[in-house]
Amino acid sequence: MTRLGASGIEVVAAPHLTGDDDKEHRHLNRELSWLDFNERVLALAEDPQRPLLERVKFLAIFSQNLDEFFQIRVAGLKEQSSAGLVRQTHDEMTPQEQLSAIRERVTGLTARRSQLFNDEIIPALDKEAIRFATWSDLTSEDRLWLGEYFSARIFPVLTPLAVDPAHPFPFVSSLSLNLAVVASDPTASAPHFARVKVPPSLPRFVPLPDGERFVPLEELVAGRLEALFPGMEVLAHHPFRITRDADLEVEEDEADDLLAAIETSLRQRRRSPDAVRLELASGTSTYVTDLLTDELELERTDVYESPGLLDLSALWQIYALNRPHLKDEPWVPGTQARLADVSRDHPHGSKIFDVLKAGDMLVHHPYDSFATSVGLFIEQAALDPDVLAIKWTLYRTSGPPSPIIRNLIHAAEAGKQVVALVELKARFDEEANIAWAHALEEAGVHVVYGVVGLKTHAKIALVVRQEGDELVRYTHVGTGNYNPNTATVYEDIGVLSADQDVGADLSDLFNFLTGYSRQRAFRKLLVAPLMLREQILDLISREAKRGDGRIVMKLNGLADVEIIDALYDASQRGAEIDLIIRGVCGLRPGAPGLSERIRVRSILGRFLEHSRIFRFGRDAVDTEYYIGSADLMERNLSRRVEALLPVTDAVSRARIDEILEVELSDDALAWELSADGTWHRVANATDVDAHGRFRELALARARSADADG
């Protein structure tokens, strides 16, 4: 296991591997690989060279990530274990073995998180006049002010829930912060237990009037417990937090109305009976620990104790403070030179459609502006009287007011044919997507939810425009969600095009999603779950057969066993393979006799690496390039609708080469995966920071455009 810290890295000696070794040596465990990824996120918070509030942000992200991991991945493993399943994964681990390994890893990671926050971040924040205050730290004047605040803002919201024969143990909602209170009644000998939920609707950290000190809400509630239990003696109080199974189970084949079925499942998720983790503050009494584990039907191995504050995902409130000197310098995305003269307002000005007729346009967010590219595309499509139809997929989009949603509604109100495929099963965005589906339907948009049994993950948009006697199609195929907010922090790629073959493919694909179709072949697009797996395997096989083949892939995750084994085969037959993988990687690189020609790296930094890029070939003449929504995970290839677009435009291909070259040269943000399954930072020799380099390139393009103009 990797152990990262200020003192360096402890690396376990790599076993000698050959192509004939057991399966457990061929494939890395998915769950442990994901924990490796989150460990790299934690390392960003540990980096003293980062601005202080950026370190706070990465602590919040690490904690949020871990919550979701327990809600979905650990919950699934516990369900398998409880059912008595002993099926082994491709790395030969049973569900129970994985749970044991996860506990060991998570225990170490959360200890590092607590040490970092308590010993480094809190003192550093204190020096910047951002201070966390406990009840015992407060002056009498502070307590008086907080008492009035408590009475006016908090007390009316609180509901203490007793636990006794007349009051069964209350339902505790997932991820809520609570106080376990032990109190004594002068008229009774036995102590009483009660649960007080810390209101999630209120700010987690209450600012004092000086604007420098913040009191955790649970600390304030604990300091005023006598108001909740008058006449009782409060003997002890301990914060706790539980995590429940959050995976939706929807029988789509049996559902008459998928929207209603998802809404029902969401209500069930909020009341999920299955707890999977209990978080306690260090020092919690044995009495409270035993009571909670018994009532929640958990084992002691499901209990995680941490010194100090629980739920550090709440640190987003601290990150939001107006302290620009403690954050990264703001980055303002640029507008592509070809779009600089496109008018957003004048009805007779240049249109984006005129620009796309001259050739495809690759946009690289957040270095290229989303608003002046994809945003402009939907905006002009909605306003243009010659546009007859707009079709769009929505997986995760921004909250109100979403410009994508707003323009789709405007287009429908203008009488255009508008279709929105809203993916109701986008995890943790289900409720937002349901709300958008209702709003779009009310405006006259044709809202569909895709194909039964499949999650629509493709990022595709189609605009049909009347031009003289012809109908001309304009398209966008991308790697990222149509979300202008995340487009400022997620690294993604998209191609805007007037290629009529791509347009015809998107017409067919939307018909597949909205109607009935058994179509399997497309002119240019590679589409899952129809033929994408076979086509990727064919491309890998082609490079393997060449003897000196070349493969470069940039992904969020790689865990599909068939793809991994094909890459092993290509490596053994002479192909050189570079993989840039942000998250889960089930492939073991650099193993003698198995994967000696495969290198795996991961880049983590200011922006979230999110694009998927595929390049097959060594020579410029026959090299094939693809971008799109699909990772090489079994779910993406078999249970999702995904689309990859071949990039044929010379300028766009050169831009992709530039992106891959920068990412493969990075030695400031990059990590490498070793044959023993451990990750280590790339040695810094040239100080290439990919995110900084991409910003430099964007500024250089802008200066060049200004000089040409």
Set 364, 457, 610, 691: catalytic member: 457
Residues forming beta bridges with residue 553, ordered by sequence position: 579, 614
Identify whether residues 55 and 171 lie together within a single domain: no
Nearest alpha-carbon partner for 689 in 328, 199, 274:
328
State whether 483 and 530 are in the same domain. no
Residue 394 in domain: yes
Q: 30 and 83: one domain?
A: yes
Co-location of 375 and 498 in the same domain: yes
Residue 510 in any domain: the answer is: yes
For this structure, is 457 an active site residue? yes
Strand residue runs (E) in 129-172: 131-132, 161-163
Q: How many domains does the chain have?
A: 4
pLDDT given for residue 556 in this prediction:
97
Domain boundary among 290, 319, 348: 319
Q: Is residue 330 part of a domain?
A: no
Instruction: Mark which of 261, 292, 319 sits at the end of a domain.
Output: 319
- Does the pLDDT value for residue 261 go beyond 60? no
- In a domain? residue 351: yes
Share of the chain above pLDDT 70, in %: 89
Separation of alpha carbons 486 and 488, rounded Å: 5
Does residue 20 belong to any structural domain of this protein?
yes
Instruction: Confirm whether 332 is domain-assigned.
Output: no
Shared domain check, 407 and 284? no
Q: What average pLDDT does the chain have? A: 89
Share of the chain above pLDDT 90, in %: 73
Whether residue 519 is contained in a domain is answered as: no
What's residue 10's pLDDT?
A: 35
Q: What is the pLDDT of residue 99?
A: 95
Is a pLDDT exceeding 80 seen at residue 209? yes
On whether both 601 and 566 belong to a single domain, the answer is yes
22 and 47 share a domain? yes
Q: What is the pLDDT of residue 707?
A: 67
In Å, how far are 571, 576, 622 from 548, measured between CA atoms? Answer: 9, 7, 14
| pLDDT of 298 higher than 60 | yes
Shortest CA distance to 133 belongs to which of 59, 223, 195? 223
CATH number of the CATH domain containing 580: 3.30.870.10
The count of other CB atoms within 10 Å of the CB of residue 379 is 20
Same-domain check for residues 648 and 532: yes
CA dist., res. 131 & res. 121, Å (int)? 10
Cα separation, 528 vs 204, in Å, equals 43
Residue 621 to residues 177, 503, 546, 617, 698: CA-CA distances in angstroms? 59, 25, 15, 9, 27
Closest CA to 369 of 401, 395, 344, 396: 344
Residue 38's pLDDT is what?
A: 97
What is the predicted pLDDT for the residue at 369?
A: 96
Q: Looking at the predicted structure, is the pLDDT value of residue 314 above 50? A: yes
For the chain, helix (H) and strand (E) counts, in that order, are: 22, 29
Pick from 265-274, 409-418, 594-603: least confident: 265-274
Dump pLDDT digits (tens) for 575-630. Answer: 999 999 999 999 999 999 999 999 999 999 999 999 999 999 998 788 999 999 99
Is residue 576 located within the same domain as residue 490? no
Lowest mean pLDDT among 1-5, 151-155, 308-312, 561-565: 1-5
pLDDT tier, 437 (very low <50, low <70, confident <90, very high otherwise): confident
Give yes or no: residues 71 and 159 share one domain.
Answer: no
Higher-confidence residue: 90 or 404? 404
Asked if residue 19 has pLDDT above 60, the reply is no
Digit-coded pLDDT (tens) for 336-383? 999 988 865 555 556 899 999 999 999 999 999 999 999 999 999 999
Q: Judge whether 588 and 561 are in contact, CB under 8 Å.
A: no
Provide the CATH number for the domain around residue 73.
Answer: 1.20.58.310
In 3D space, the residue among 285, 286, 251, 248 whose CA is nearest the CA of residue 270 turns out to be: 248
Residue 328 in any domain: the answer is no
Mind giving me the DSSP string for 372-441? TTHHHHHHHHHH-TTEEEEEEEESS--SSSPHHHHHHHHHHHTT-EEEEEE-TTSTT-HHHHHHHHHHHH
Residue 585's φ and ψ, nearest 5 degrees, are -140, 115
Looking at the fold, whether 686 and 556 belong to one and the same domain comes out as: yes
User: Looking at this protein, which amino acid is placed at residue 414?
Assistant: A
How do residues 228-244 score in pLDDT, each as one tens digit?
Answer: 999 899 999 999 999 99
pTM for the model stands at 0.90
Q: Which residue has the higher pLDDT, 457 or 263?
A: 457
3-class secondary structure, 277: strand
Find all residues with CB under 8 Å of 61, minimum gap 6, and list them: 41
Q: Are residues 185 and 266 in the same domain?
A: yes
- Structural domain that includes position 161: 133-319
* Final residue in a domain of this structure, among 82, 99, 124: 124
**Given this model, what pLDDT does residue 252 score?**
44
Quick one: pLDDT at residue 620? 77
Pick the more confident residue, 50 or 340. 50
State yes or no: pLDDT of 392 exceeds 90: yes
